[in-house]
Chain A
Amino acid sequence: MKERLRDGLGPRVGSLLERLERGVTRDDHLATVARIVARPDLLETLPVEARPIAACLLGEGRRLLAGEPPRGAAPDVPASVPSPEAFREAARRRGPYESGGGMEACHLAGLLRLPDERSGAPPQGPLPEPGAEAERAGPPAREVAALNASLAVDGPDAEHVSELVAQARALPARRWFLRRGTCYGTGHLLLALLRVVPGPLAPYTREVCDRLVRHVEIRRRGALAFRPEGLPDGSAPAVERLRFAVALATAARCFGDLRYLNTALKLNDWHRRRLLPGRRSGTDSLAALHYVVSIARQESALREGLAP
């Protein structure tokens, strides 16, 4: 029986297994990025304030397709983007991750401001101590929102850091991820934390990344189902999931840890299916833009992390 299977099916099964083992390749991702970058309607479907930043971010995709190295220092953020003060004010009024032209522009600007090089400083120092409030059970939506609002869009000044540490104390890393999903807003929060690495929050950020990897690898696609349910709508969950992928690829470079990149690769592979031609979810501009950035960051991290 075994011999018959081996002789009859061997070559065909062998090539099928080889294809499955290969999974989603670099070329697959680049083809999807090329399709997104070539979309004539992509910028028009975004709020006016977000378009200049979106154009900068699409540039990352174009550089990737052209085989050019990633950008060096973060470019100047266009003047149309609301200032950090305006963002904080808007976050106080509406919540830091609700949609709206100015907010989306701020979130995209946040992607632009992510460090695009390896951080020289190893994460050291004590982790923020959990406060009494942190022991409360249930989804930490309030603490996530508070920390998000504090981080705003820019790297904080020295004065701001102590406020951040205080907020982080109310939200210890172990409370970021829930048994059946993730609190909405934590993807945005992780990106914001990575913008302030290296710094006193680096050990905390690293612990969050460790827990995110474990959360995703164990719970797989169910890991990033968002709680509280019903909070995000439209493309928001997809964008938030991609924020985690961008964050992990960035963290891989900041901390020099390939385990983060490993999980980012899987998150991007899972997301690519949603962008295949004929899928309605593939037409959302904001999600497509985040995917382009995520792939650009993934490829940079791969090139840097695996360099001989």
Chain B
Amino acid sequence: MKVVVLAPIDTSPFARVVCGRCLREPGVELAGIVVRRILNPERVRSELRRDGFRLLGKVWTKLVLGSDDPGTRDETGFFELAEREGLAGTPLSRLAREHGIPLVRVLDHNDAASLALLERVRPDVVAFTGGGILRKPVLEAAGHGVLNTHMGPLPEYRGMDVVEWPLLEGRAEEPGLGVALHFMAAGIDTGPILRFDRVPIRPGDGLERLRKRFEPVMADAMLEGIRAVRDDRLEPRPQAADEGRQYFVMHPRLVEAARRALAKLAAAESGEPE
């Protein structure tokens, strides 16, 4: 069974982990990788519009701090997984070279080069590990579809900051916090849902630690999705467009409130007063 991985950048640890696992998984052929170029003015503009100055923090954490982010050092995230799986410091381009996998660099995943690779390879499924919104031609060229891991419960919480929004709205118990694996559709996070894996709150959790604990769950969920396609045991549950609500980037003052809500829940987990 053929898989193509769409990656946000050449050094994406999530994409490296997914590629590494595809290479080791019996019956799965990593047939191509599409990588977005890191220096892409259009992308910087759109991410700056979406995230504002928060983008600088993301760049600093992802490209400089890496696994040394002091707030999350004791948790296992993508960086630690990549290291554990022998992929530390291995960009996707090197991985592709070493294994003879076709790799294309694009400005946008919807570019013609990306489509050409998908049409040439004809994958059974595409694993999306980040990198913007996908348009119809890419979604349709992807065999069974494009798998995406979403850091919140679907269909209730679509969009951005969906770890924080259920905390703020007092819905951390039900529908809960966790990772939803789904096929991508034209609308944001509206495609058929394959599974939902809960991520429990633990004593002492802060937002950064909690978010980092989502990462191994995302990697496992993606591999489970690929296996389900390989073994022909997909049971997608379609979503109606009006079943959920779309959320956007949370204002810092509301993020602070979500932090306080999490602190209370984490204190309750440890059985101690906040």
Contacts and interface: CB of A to CB of B under 8 A. Distances in A.
Interface of A: 2, 5-6, 13, 17, 20-23, 25-26, 213-214, 217, 220, 258-259, 261-263, 265-266, 269, 302, 306
28 contacts: A2-B64, A2-B66, A5-B64, A6-B65, A17-B57, A17-B60, A20-B56, A21-B252, A22-B252, A23-B252, A23-B253, A214-B246, A214-B248, A217-B249, A220-B49, A258-B254, A259-B245, A259-B248, A261-B254, A262-B248, A262-B250, A262-B251, A262-B254, A265-B251, A266-B251, A302-B253, A306-B254, A306-B257
Given A17-B56, A20-B54, A258 B68 contact: no
Nearest to B68: A6
Closest 7 CB pairs of A and B: A20-B53, A217-B248, A265-B251, A23-B252, A17-B57, A306-B257, A262-B251
B268 interface: no
Contacts of B169: 258
B17 to A, nearest CB: 20
Contacts of B66: 2
A121 B65 CA distance: 49
Nearest to B66: A2
Contacts of A220: 49
Interface string B48-68: 010011101100100111101
A258 B253 contact: no
A259 B247 contact: yes
A72 to B, nearest CB: 25
A26 B254 CA distance: 12
B157 to A, nearest CB: 11
Interface in B137-172: 168-169
A217 B65 CA distance: 29
A56 B247 CA distance: 35
Contact of B60 (A13, A214, A269): A13
A213 B57 contact: no
Interface in B31-81: 49, 52-54, 56-57, 60, 63-66, 68
A224 to B, nearest CB: 15
Contacts of A261: 254
Nearest to A6: B64
Contacts of B63: 2
Given A261-B254, A262-B250, 7 more contacts: A2-B64, A5-B64, A13-B60, A20-B56, A21-B53, A214-B246, A258-B168
Nearest to A25: B253
Given A17-B60, A258-B169, A26 B253 contact: yes
Contacts of A6: 64-65, 68
B274 to A, nearest CB: 11
Contacts of A217: 248-249
A22 B251 CA distance: 9
Nearest to A219: B49
B246 to A, nearest CB: 7
Contact of B248 (A20, A22, A23, A263): A263
Contacts of A214: 246, 248
Nearest to B257: A306
Contacts of A23: 52-53, 251-253
A265 B249 CA distance: 12
Contacts of B56: 17, 20
B24 to A, nearest CB: 28
Interface in B227-272: 245-254, 257
A21 B247 CA distance: 19
A212 to B, nearest CB: 12
Contact of A265 (B64, B68, B253): B253
Contacts of B57: 17, 20-21
